[in-house]
Amino acid sequence: MFPLNRLNSFQNGREIMGKYLVLWEIDQTKIPDYQSRRGGTLSYQLFRRGYTMRLLLILIFLLPSLAWAQSEWVTGAATVREVYEKVVAAAAFLSKNGESGLNEFQKPNGRFVWKNSYVEVTKCIDNYCLPGPKSKDVGLNLSRLKCYITDKFYILDLCRETMHNPKGAWIEYWHPRAGFDQPQRRVSFMMPAANTDYQVVSSIYNASTTLEELNKISNR
**Same-domain status, 134 and 168:** yes
Question: Which range marks the domain in which residue 123 is found?
Answer: 80-217
At residue 54, the pLDDT reads 64
At residue 28, the pLDDT reads 47
At residue 146, the pLDDT reads 87
Q: Could you report how far apart the first and last alpha carbons of the chain are, in Å?
A: 26
At residue 148, the pLDDT reads 87
* Average of per-residue pLDDT values in the chain: 77
Residue pair 67/179 in contact (Cβ under 8 Å)? The answer is no
At residue 128, the pLDDT reads 84
**Same-domain status, 68 and 93:** no
CATH of the domain at 174: 3.30.450.20
Tell me how far apart the alpha carbons of residues 175 and 204 are, in angstroms, rounded to a whole number.
10
Q: If DSSP codes are grouped into helix, strand and coil, which group holds residue 204?
A: strand
At residue 214, the pLDDT reads 97
- Classify burial at 61, counting beta carbons within 10 Å of its beta carbon; exposed 0-12, middle 13-18, buried 19 or more: middle
Tell me how far apart the alpha carbons of residues 10 and 71 are, in angstroms, rounded to a whole number.
14
At residue 45, the pLDDT reads 56
Give the residue from 73, 98, 114 where a domain finishes. Answer: 73
Q: Which stretches of the chain score pLDDT less than 50?
A: 1-38, 44, 46-47, 59, 61-70
At residue 143, the pLDDT reads 73
Tell me how far apart the alpha carbons of residues 180 and 182 are, in angstroms, rounded to a whole number.
6
Long-range contacts of 212-216 (CB under 8 A, 24+ apart): 214/80, 214/170, 214/187, 214/189, 215/170
At residue 62, the pLDDT reads 46
At residue 129, the pLDDT reads 82
Give rounded-to-5 percent helix, strand, coil for the chain: 55, 15, 30
pTM above 0.85, yes or no: no
Residue pair 107/121 in contact (Cβ under 8 Å)? The answer is no
At residue 42, the pLDDT reads 52
Tell me how far apart the alpha carbons of residues 157 and 173 are, in angstroms, rounded to a whole number.
11
Torsion of CA 77, 81, 86, 89, to 10 degrees: -170
Number of domains in the chain: 2
**Same-domain status, 166 and 114:** yes
**Same-domain status, 146 and 92:** yes
Give the residue from 29, 51, 73 where a domain finishes. Answer: 73
Give the residue from 47, 73, 99 where a domain finishes. Answer: 73
**Other C-beta atoms lying within 10 Å of the C-beta of residue 163:** 13
What single-letter DSSP state applies at residue 78? Answer: P
